[in-house]
Amino acid sequence: MAEEKKEFWRWTESNWKNPDLDWEDAELITVGIDVGSVSSQAVIMADGEILAYGNMRTGSDSPNSAGNALNFALQALDGMPEDRMDCCIGTGYGRINVPFADRSITEIACHARGANFIYGPEVRTVLDVGGQDIKVIQCDDKGKVTNFLMNDKCAAGTGRGMEVFSDLLGVSINEVGDRSFNVKEEPTAVSSTCVVYAKSEATGLLRKGWTTEEVLAAYCRAMAERIYSLIERVGVVPEFAVTGGMAKNRGVMDRLMPMVGLERMKTGWDTQIAGAAGAALFGYALCRKGKGRQK
């Protein structure tokens, strides 16, 4: 009988509750739902502070994944009734498909706002490497966008490409970063970052006798170069922060940062929740402006 196929790309889903906050004390509870092409997050905020979040994989059905992510976050926060939410903002690739959202806001605005929250107001340049696109955003100390670029035409250099590679090479996505540094000499980057071409190039390199680690290193370097070429267009103003799942991949980040010439900021938060956190914060701001739920 065939062995069950291991899903190397599968990253860890998580939910979390803030032990210091109680939803019953909150005046305004706002929710941000970020339905991306690969992952979905729900962040529940009490008066602008994170109460709980859920981070999971987007399924094939956007309305469902939005609900699943919210339920996942609510699970962590046992006991809060859903109708206690004052405002719900949808964002991300699938934002128009969040059935229970009061309104939707683009992920550009939300990521800048969210990065401002999770990294602090010193952030001026935000790089978000998502599942299917790359965003470079400059923002001010309030998290307001001043310059942005989003490359969503092509998935080259994005999280999905990394998933394809971890599957091809049989390396768990969580180990890609560390293993890509396990090489005697840094190889040159694969010549194409296009996922389809890079995959066939990698297969060729493996047949030529390259080790898995060398191929990983070559692909991580190619991705870093691709990401840097987009950063260059917008320019870098310190401090520099990275959001999205790729921030967890040392293989790409440790190759990218020397090109940028800066250290990236550090945070204790899950970098994947930035978009949803920004959406929840916009919900809070809009509610206070009286532009929240239209009933």
Partner 1 sequence: MLANYGYKDASGDFFVTIDTEKCDGCGDCISACPAAIFLVLDEDPNDPMRDEPVAIVAQDKKKKLKYECNPCKPLRDRPPLPCVEACKAGAISHSW
Closest distance of CB 148 from partner 1, Å: 6
Closest distance of CB 285 from partner 1, Å: 7
Q: At a CB cut-off of 8 Å and minimum separation 6, what does 59 contact?
A: 65, 68
SS3 176: helix
User: Is residue 259 within the footprint of partner 1 (CB under 8 A)?
Assistant: no
Angle ∠(292,51,239) on CA atoms, nearest 5: 85
Among 28, 206, 230, 259, binds partner 1 (CB under 8 A): 230
Angle ∠(230,120,144) on CA atoms, nearest 5: 60
Smaller CB separation from partner 1, 6 or 197: 197
Piece of the chain touching partner 1 by CB under 8 A; list 1-9, 140-148, 208-216, 266-274: 140-148
| 49 contacts 280 by C-beta, under 8 angstroms | no
CA gyration radius, the chain:
19
Smaller CB separation from partner 1, 152 or 239: 152
User: Is residue 28 within the footprint of partner 1 (CB under 8 A)?
Assistant: no
Distance CA 110, CA 69 (A): 17
Q: Site map for partner 1, 182-221, x if CB under 8 A? A: ----------------------------------------
User: Is residue 282 within the footprint of partner 1 (CB under 8 A)?
Assistant: yes
> Measuring CA to CA, which residue among 115, 194, 112 is closest to residue 153?
194
Closest distance of CB 212 from partner 1, Å: 27
Q: Which residues bind partner 1 (CB under 8 A)?
A: 105-106, 108-109, 144-154, 229-230, 233-234, 282, 285-286
